[in-house]
């Protein structure tokens, strides 16, 4: 995620997400071991060397080189065996693979994922108290557009098309979440406040708004049609070639939910990127919603837009409420989180104003 500077340090794992980067496993990995894993997939590949991507915090991404250039993407997912999602995670991985293949067959630009010789989309291992999953896909070159008009136009259209075709995905055959939002579980993990330096006033303001939004979204979720959504459509998960999308990446957050959560997640990332760089974002939100609405041939009502922005605000609120309490015993980290929280609280207040006008 976006909210901690110590999420991944060399030789250290921080257990904050479903999956984590397992530095200890990476340190003992060799080209020979990688070749052994690759040989388990239906692909003819000779691993000459690999490079490690600096992006992402939920998995280790390796670019496997053959003939002097990157040809494949090998991902390593790690989860403690005692994690609260350990009993479900294999079902979630199976669903992700099936969902990606379903979309790819219907024209969504997703890199090809290779099946193992056991006809699975992943290899699973147990290693020193962890569940490890390995996946292999093709490498697709492309560049990242940072919320340019071309990006907004193409991302909004792609999201609308995915929502349309996802209605036919046979979700009854797969795992289904029952939480109203992807981050709802974080509020069940929040610690009590125990430190004198804690920013109580800021925290209480954010908690007050969260307590207003949460029951509205919870009730809304119960009444809405739900489909599989990507839930992580953002600039660095989309590779473009000039003005067209070459590939949509990273379905690790995909889940069974409302389209409102999916669009809200996209707007959350847009707002975060722009605000972090002190750039205005409020005029881009109506543009994104307009592109999406036209592509979907769906005239979004005021209520639809209100729920979409609630989902965007809810992400800001939960992540800050969670990380402020998580880091409260480390003064340096707490000051770092407080600085982020104050900036993002201003984003939320702007979204509240915008919510009343669009």
Look at residue 19 in the predicted model and tell me its pLDDT. Answer: 87
Look at residue 10 in the predicted model and tell me its pLDDT. Answer: 31
In this structure, is the dihedral angle defined by the CA atoms of residues 42, 237, 229 and 19, taken in order, positive or negative? positive
For the chain, which ranges sit under pLDDT 50?
A: 1-16
- Nearest-angstrom CA–CA distance, 114 and 246: 18
Q: Tell me the three state secondary structure of residue 274.
A: helix
- Nearest-angstrom CA–CA distance, 263 and 224: 15
* Cα→Cα distances 82→24, 79, 143, 295, Å: 18, 8, 38, 44
Query: pLDDT tens for residues 188-214?
Result: 877 788 888 899 999 999 999 999 999
Q: Choose among 126, 121, 119, 117: nearest CA to 136.
A: 121
Q: Which parts of the chain fold into alpha helices (H)?
A: 23-27, 31-38, 89-104, 149-166, 200-223, 259-276, 284-296, 302-326, 331-355
CATH number for the domain whose boundaries are 8-138: 3.30.200.20
Look at residue 56 in the predicted model and tell me its pLDDT. Answer: 67
Q: Choose among 167, 169, 163, 168: nearest CA to 297.
A: 163
Q: Tell me the three state secondary structure of residue 257.
A: strand
Task: Annotate 292-305 with b (16+ C-beta within 10 A) or e (fewer).
Answer: bbebbeeebeeebb
Burial class of residue 157, CB neighbours in 10 A (0-12, 13-18, 19+): middle
Q: Choose among 190, 187, 240, 232: nearest CA to 56.
A: 232
- Which residues pair with residue 141 across a beta bridge? none
Query: pLDDT tens for residues 147-162?
Result: 988 899 999 999 999 9
Contacts of 86 (CB under 8 A, 6+ apart): 79, 80, 131
Return the residue matching tokens 């219907």: 106
- Nearest-angstrom CA–CA distance, 160 and 330: 43
Return the residue matching tokens 């979309």: 103
- 326 neighbors 191 (Cβ within 8 angstroms): yes
Domain residue ranges of the chain, discontinuous segments joined by + = 8-138, 149-355
Burial class of residue 95, CB neighbours in 10 A (0-12, 13-18, 19+): buried
Look at residue 17 in the predicted model and tell me its pLDDT. Answer: 55
The yes or no reply on domain 149-355 and CATH 3.90.1200.10 is yes
Return the residue matching tokens 């069974």: 256
Q: Choose among 7, 20, 22: nearest CA to 58.
A: 20
- 182 neighbors 255 (Cβ within 8 angstroms): yes
Work out the angle at residue 111's Cα, subtended by the Cα atoms of residues 139 and 134, and round it to the nearest 5 degrees: 75
DSSP 82-125: T-TTTTTHHHHHHHHHHHHHHHHTTT---PPBPPBTTS-SSEEE
Look at residue 192 in the predicted model and tell me its pLDDT. Answer: 81
């Amino acid at each position: 995620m976006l909210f901690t500077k110590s999420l991944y340090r060399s030789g250290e794992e921080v257990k904050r997400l479903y999956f984590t980067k397992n530095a200890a496993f990476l340190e003992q990995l060799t080209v020979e071991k990688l070749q052994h894993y690759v040989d388990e997939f239906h692909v003819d590949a000779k691993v000459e060397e690999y490079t490690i991507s600096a992006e992402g915090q939920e998995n280790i991404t390796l670019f496997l080189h053959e003939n002097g250039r990157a040809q494949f993407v090998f991902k390593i997912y790690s989860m403690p065996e005692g994690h609260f999602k350990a009993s479900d995670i294999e079902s979630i991985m199976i669903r992700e693979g099936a969902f990606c293949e379903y979309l790819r067959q219907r024209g969504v630009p997703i890199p090809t994922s290779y099946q193992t010789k056991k006809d699975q989309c992943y290899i699973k291992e147990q290693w020193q108290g962890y569940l490890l999953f390995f996946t292999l896909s093709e490498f697709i070159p492309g560049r990242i557009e940072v919320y340019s008009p071309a990006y907004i136009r193409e991302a909004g259209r792609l999201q609308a098309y995915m929502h349309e075709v996802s209605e036919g995905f046979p979700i009854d055959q797969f795992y289904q979440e029952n939480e109203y939002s992807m981050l709802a579980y974080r509020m069940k993990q929040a610690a009590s406040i125990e430190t004198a330096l804690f920013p109580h006033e800021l925290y209480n303001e954010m908690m007050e708004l969260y307590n207003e939004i949460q029951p509205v979204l919870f009730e809304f979720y119960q009444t809405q049609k739900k489909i599989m959504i990507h839930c992580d459509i953002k600039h660095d998960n989309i590779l473009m070639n000039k003005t067209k999308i070459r590939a949509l990446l990273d379905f690790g957050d995909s889940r069974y939910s409302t389209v409102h959560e999916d669009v809200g997640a996209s707007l959350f990332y847009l707002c975060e990127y722009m605000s972090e760089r002190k750039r205005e974002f409020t005029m881009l939100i109506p543009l994104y919603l307009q592109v999406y609405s036209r592509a979907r041939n769906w005239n979004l009502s005021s209520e639809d837009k209100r729920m979409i922005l609630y989902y965007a605000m809810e992400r800001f609120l939960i992540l800050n409420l969670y990380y402020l309490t998580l880091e409260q015993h480390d003064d340096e980290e707490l000051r770092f989180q407080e600085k982020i929280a104050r900036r993002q609280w201003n984003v939320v207040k702007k979204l509240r104003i915008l919510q009343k006008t669009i």
